[in-house]
Amino acid sequence: MPHRVSVCFALIFGALTLAGAAQAREPDGTLVVTMLGDSLTAGYGLNARDAIPARLQEALIAQGLKVKVRPAGVSGDTSADGLARVDFSVRPDTDLCLVVLGGNDRRQGVEPKMVKANLDGIVAKLKARHIRAMLVGVKAPPAMGADYAREVDAVVPSLGRADDAPAFPDLLGKVALDRSLNQGDGIHPNPQGVRQVVARLAPAVAAALGTTRAGAAKR
Contact of 42 with 51, CB cutoff 8 Å: yes
Q: Is residue 40 part of a domain?
A: yes
The residue ranking higher by pLDDT, 29 or 37, is 37
Q: Is residue 124 part of a domain?
A: yes
| Given the residues 38, 39, 79, 163, the one annotated as active site | 39
Which residues contact residue 9 at a Cβ distance below 8 angstroms, ignoring those fewer than 6 apart?
A: none
pLDDT above 80 (res 16): no
Domain count, the chain: 1
In the annotation, is 185 catalytic?
Answer: yes
82: domain CATH number? 3.40.50.1110
Q: Is residue 86 part of a domain?
A: yes
In the annotation, is 81 catalytic?
Answer: no
Q: Is residue 194 part of a domain?
A: yes
209, 192, 171, 185: which is closest to 55 by C-alpha? 192
Q: Is residue 142 part of a domain?
A: yes
Quick one: pLDDT band at residue 11, thresholds 50, 70, 90?
A: very low
Enclosing domain of residue 140: 26-218
pLDDT in tens, 93-110: 999 999 999 999 998 999
| Given the residues 3, 147, 180, 185, the one annotated as active site | 185
Q: Is residue 17 part of a domain?
A: no
The whole-number pLDDT of residue 144 equals 83
pTM value? Answer: 0.85
The whole-number pLDDT of residue 216 equals 52
In the annotation, is 3 catalytic?
Answer: no
